[in-house]
Amino acid sequence: MRMRRLRRSEPLRALVRETSINPGDFIYPLFICPGEGVRREVPSMPGVFNVSVDEAVREAEEAASLGIGGLLLFGLPESKDEQGTGAWDENGIVQQGLRALKQSAAASKLVLIADVCLCEYTSHGHCGVIVESGKTFDVDNDPTLNLLASAAVSLARAGADVVAPSDMMDGRVAAIRRALDAEGLSLTPVLSYASKFASAFYGPFRDAADSAPQFGDRRTYQMDGANLREAMREIDLDLDEGADMILMKPAMPYLDVVHAARENFDVPMGAYQVSGEYSMLHAAFQKGWLDHDRAMLESLLGIRRAGADFIVTYFAKDAAKLLR
Ligand SMILES: [Zn+2]
């Protein structure tokens, strides 16, 4: 046997290729900020911008023309408070963005996914209501659920095709599902960040979304990076609570988790190539240490091969341009 027989030419290699990546597999994250004509580059994420609503519409049009599957929307509110009220404000920044995007021609070609969390909207930067006991602070799980449910309902009403809770509170999927159904939004799917690890690779995102915790860290609600079995339990619970799709995060340092989820659960599944994965590749591109196009595509291919149906990635536009 000579394995090299089928590697002799590009047409032969293409014929026997087991995994494909297409622009339609990509979800492009957008960070929407107040103002008009605003396009502010995130210092730690070359090519990623905070954009005002009008610029977000322009981004959506470009994404649609490239065949990208959808957008994942985050918000940078005008002001923050203890509860994160900006998250469910009818006039909140993402709600405004959704209404404008829905008016655009691009909307019919893209899935508009709204991130549901409080950390971008709370003054303390945590993903829920803070409770103090003695000298320690923590996020209070159950009071947070109602706020997340309100945010999900508000975002769905504003036009989100899918709501995506990313907070890692226990019971949030059920709370959100119940609230959506009660408001006549029973056809709005929930994409649950079911398996989200407390990761150093989120660092640059906190620049982009201005959501760094002002004290402590997120280890009491996000998962310990050492735990694969626990990730499967988290997914199981979210599906029981009514999640329609699941999202795994981060991707590259957790490809075994992505693969195990693919083996264990027959539901649509995405993986989030997070900010740190993007930024470290860009740092190497800037140094000339890695080839931009090849390393980018290989990083995406690996995530698909591990089992993800779709990939949330800051490379969406760059990769789509190469794959068209
Ligand atoms: Zn959060």
pLDDT tens column, 240-265: 999 999 999 999 999 999 999 999 99
Q: Token pair for residue 134? A: 């003695």
- d(C-alpha 91, C-alpha 316), whole Å: 28
pTM attached to this predicted model: 0.96
Cα(245) to centroid(ligand 1), Å? 19
pLDDT of residue 83: 93
Active site residues: 196, 249
Length of the chain in terms of residues written: 324
What string of H, E and C letters represents the secondary structure of 261-286?
HHHHCCCCEEEEECHHHHHHHHHHHH
Q: Is the pLDDT of residue 210 over 90?
A: no
Q: Is the pLDDT of residue 133 over 90?
A: no
Burial 123-158 (b: 16+ CB within 10 A, else e): ebbbbbbbeeeeeebebebeebbebbbbbbbbbbbb
Cα(42) to centroid(ligand 1), Å? 19
Q: Is the pLDDT of residue 135 over 90?
A: no
Report the percentage of the chain scoring pLDDT > 90: 94
Q: Which residues surround ligand 1, an ion (CB under 5 A)?
A: 117, 119, 127
* Residue located via tokens 């003695």: 134
pLDDT of residue 132: 86
pLDDT of residue 17: 97
Alpha carbons within 13 angstroms on the beta-carbon side of residue 272 total: 25
Cα(285) to centroid(ligand 1), Å? 29
Q: Is the pLDDT of residue 137 over 90?
A: no
pLDDT bin (cut points 50, 70, 90) of residue 324 is confident
The closest of 196, 189, 145 to 166, measured between CA atoms, is 196
Cα(62) to centroid(ligand 1), Å? 28
> Cα 181–187–188 angle (5° rounding)?
85
